[in-house]
Chains A and B, each alone.
Chain A
Amino acid sequence: MALFKAEKKAPKGPAGLWDVVIGEDMCKACGFCLSVCPTDVFAYRTTANRLGWFPMYVAHEENCVGCNLCYQICPDFCIDVAPKDSAGAALAGPPGRR
């Protein structure tokens, strides 16, 4: 058994129930979210961010089943997952430098 499963499953039930946001400016491309995701939500960008990494982006938000594994495993506070139309909707990036 492994933590990261290469095989992705198709999501069951209605699609598009979850908002998934990645702060691409903060991503260091560790690959954890893409590998731990049981369905197929993430993909790498082809242009680098200002940190010099090719960041992850939300390619197929409609595949998200809200398991929150990506939220738990991201080492850089980049990802937020929230039910669509919820009051606690996600934030896209660092709200300004102090």
Chain B
Amino acid sequence: MNRLAAKYLRPSQIPTKACHGCGIGMIENWLLQAIDELGLKQEDVIFGTGIGCVGRQTFATWGGDNFGATHGRALAVATGLKLAQPHKKYLIVVGDGDAASIGTSHLVHAARRNLGVTVICEDNMGYESTGGQFSPTTPAGYVTNSSPYGMVEPGFDPCDVVQAAGATFVAETTATQWHQTVKIVKKALQNDGFSFVHVRFPCNENFGAYALGTRDTLKNLEWIYEHTQGRKTDGSESDFTWQTGIRHDASNSKPEFTSLLRSMNAKVRAKMAEEAKGR
């Protein structure tokens, strides 16, 4: 395996449960590069994941401490865990279902509090683990297992939501932007506050099969590339283009949530000590 996988991952969980050509492993490879280039050790980083493809295929691959929460609740667990272990780096690796659907409440409040974690929202534009139903990030009109006549619900970009809630670092990349993703994740990890990195990636088994009409791994990754660049392979415009890059960088400009509580405690206890002396 590659040297970073040997350095950081849990050998018994590699190869992962991911389907062939799935983007989850690619993105995890880039996370390892970011971790390595920042000089972080395995014990410095805690991975938290959720349910679904991103959750399951990432969970336990990390060789250090990691948790796989119930569906949508990785950030709720991380909020408590960060209180007790504030000096670790947290990578919360969740899918579009976990972050942008069932777990959006916790996402919003973690961003509002400026909780010091980095959320990697790996988005395959549907609930692929359960077979390929649509999700709030499925593009308009696309056919999925539960939108056989085309997706009619308006979708949204979770980046808009977390930015509005007060996140201090927000960025978008895709599965064909390896160098950018590594650079962006490094910046995200260096924000002592809430960082959100949204990475869109291909699913061959389900989204590819039903929405794109093929399970061909090369064609599906090309589809991602086309919508990243805005141009199809034949030169014509793609039906939509994703905006990528750093959308908002206010890193380290606001106090991190648990540090606020620690400061408050210090003040309260100092006052108590003074009052005790005065008596």
Q: B-contacting residues of A (Cβ < 8 Å)?
A: 1-4, 23, 25-26, 28-32, 35, 51, 53, 71-80, 82, 88, 90-91, 93-98
Contacts and interface: CB of A to CB of B under 8 A. Distances in A.
A26 B20 CA distance: 11
Contacts of B6: 91, 95
B15 interface: yes
B133 to A, nearest CB: 23
Interface of B: 1-6, 9-12, 14-16, 18-26, 28-30, 176, 178-179, 217-218, 221-222, 225, 229, 231, 233, 235
Contact of B21 (A3, A75, A78, A98): A75
Given A2-B233, A72-B178, A75-B24, 5 more contacts: A4-B218, A30-B20, A72-B29, A91-B1, A91-B2
Contact of A3 (B18, B20, B179, B225): B225
B233 A97 contact: no
A2 B231 CA distance: 9
A25 B3 CA distance: 16
A77 B14 contact: yes
B221 A32 contact: yes
Contacts of A77: 1-2, 4-5, 9, 14-15, 25, 28-29
A90 B11 CA distance: 16
B218 A95 contact: no
